[in-house]
Amino acid sequence: MSLKVRAVLVVVIGLVLGLSLSFGGGRFGSGEQPGNEELAFEQARLFAEVLERVKRDYVEPLDDAELMESAIRGMVSDLDAHSQYLDASEYRDIRISTTGSYTGIGIEIDEVDGRVLVVTPIAGSPAARSGLRSGDEIVAVDGIALETGNLHETIGQLRGHAGSQVRVSVLRDSDVIDHRMRRQVIRVASVHSEFLAPAYAYVRVSQFNENTARELRGAIDDLQHAAGSMLEGLVLDLRNNPGGVLDAAVEVADLFLDAGVIVSSEGRSLDSRFTRSAHRGDVLDGAEMVVLVNGGSASASEIVAGALQDHDRALVVGTATFGKGLVQTVVPLSKGRAIKLTTSRYYTPSGDSIHEVGVAPDVFIDDTPGHPDLSLSGVVNREADMQLAEAIEHLRARPVMHSNAR
């Protein structure tokens, strides 16, 4: 056994035995379990043996740090589908997604058939001002050709310090066009709103970040100001919303509720056990609501839909939601790394767990084939979208239900 592998074995044994003692195992713990240390030693030896064999016999040479990081990543990801080890870059991306802002040029991109395409430039961004268009193929950044199959690296190349310059080369109609621009702080809107009729509005929430509740409150205020009175009905579209920050979901649900539990959670640690309740004040003053959901509505989306449904505050229309009823906590580690760890299970106000079950709609309407991604198109299709059509029909058939309290 090599000196490096022996050193790894000593470290792993120390960690395993230390954890065993910390959690009350072994002869020194509160629950005496003879043989725990021996088992830990054998498992550590097995780990070291595998590590040595992989380093010696794998077809390509491997770096020690890379191997250890892969082992850590595998340990965490094997816990469940949602726990994850995050390197410094991945942790930075998680923080960006929760704050709703980043420094870059302001485009949404996707990889299609090995090509990195511009989905849409964000209005007012450097990308939009420079003339980048939806459908442009990005072929190089700062003169360096893109590597296909690595969208994450391309995103990293486009981001950088505010004020720094970047050159993006795109292929358009067989011509390569260079766009030079300076990066700036980009605010990613998570709320899109528009009128369905003079007193009826549509609001789509594409994700839940730290700004979502404030954006949603502002959008509803603007709609009511434009209408000149309180709205008579609202469609809240949570379809294909993968979730996000739990507190943001609580704040969004709280906008439409006057009282009662929004969500509760149970876990092993004290911090993972909590109950969140609504505060008095419904921004719609009791006006009718419909929430649209589908199989892409997950996590925070399900918290909002479940709370509004259980309190009879909204009719839920669409298909069953994804069914992610677990809460993850991001735990920072050294050198900018972190782990995203499942720490608790959450429950709707009725006490139900929706994990692997989802929120069942009150009215089932199957997904419309070819249903557009409204977060990208920015418009609603009232004729082809049967779920939205059902929501509008429900709103118009219901009497206005404003409260008398002022």
pLDDT tens digits for range 284-339: 999 999 999 999 899 999 999 999 999 999 999 999 999 999 999 999 999 999 99
| Residues 30 and 120 placed together within one structural domain of the fold | no
Phi, psi of 7 (to 5 degrees): -65, -40
- pLDDT higher for 24 or 366? 366
Residue 370 binned pLDDT confidence (cut-offs 50, 70, 90): very low
How far is Cα 351 from Cα 257, in angstroms, rounded to an integer?
A: 18
Q: Is residue 337 part of a domain?
A: yes
**pLDDT tens for residues 42-90?**
888 888 888 888 988 999 988 888 888 889 999 999 999 889 999 988 8
Would 84 be classed as within a structural domain? Answer: no
pLDDT value, residue 19 = 46
Domain endpoint, select from 156, 187, 218: 187
Instruction: Report the pLDDT value the prediction gives residue 122, as an integer from 0 to 100.
Output: 80
Residues 210 and 348 in one domain: yes
Mean pLDDT of 199-210: 93
Positions marked active-site? 299, 310, 324
Whether residue 319 sits in one domain with residue 219: yes
Query: What is the pLDDT confidence band of residue 156, given thresholds at 50, 70 and 90?
Result: confident
Q: Which domain holds residue 119?
A: 101-187
3-class DSSP state for residue 246? helix
Please check whether residues 183 and 126 belong to one and the same domain. Answer: yes
* Pair (225, 292) in one structural domain: yes
Q: How far apart are CA 396 and CA 335, in angstroms?
A: 56
Backbone angles phi, psi at 57, to 5 degrees: -110, -10
Claim to verify: residue 163 and residue 210 sit in the same structural domain: no
Last residue of a domain, one of 140, 163, 187: 187
Q: Is residue 234 part of a domain?
A: yes
Specify whether 135 is located in the same domain as 197. no
Asked if 181 and 198 sit in the same domain, the reply is no
Q: Which of 35, 56, 50, 46 is nearest to 13 (CA)?
A: 46
As a whole number of angstroms, the distance between CA 198 and CA 43 comes to 68
Q: Count how many domains the chain has.
A: 3
The share of the chain scoring above pLDDT 90, in percent, equals 57
pLDDT one-digit tens code per residue, 135-144: 899 999 999 9
Residue 95 lies in a domain: no
| Structure confidence at residue 144 (pLDDT) | 92
Say how far apart CA 384 and CA 216 lie, in whole Å.
26
Whether residues 364 and 223 share a domain: the answer is: yes
Considering only 167-171, 238-242, 282-286, which range has the smallest mean pLDDT?
Answer: 238-242
CATH of the domain at 208: 3.90.226.10
Higher pLDDT, 70 or 1: 70
Same domain, 105 and 154: yes
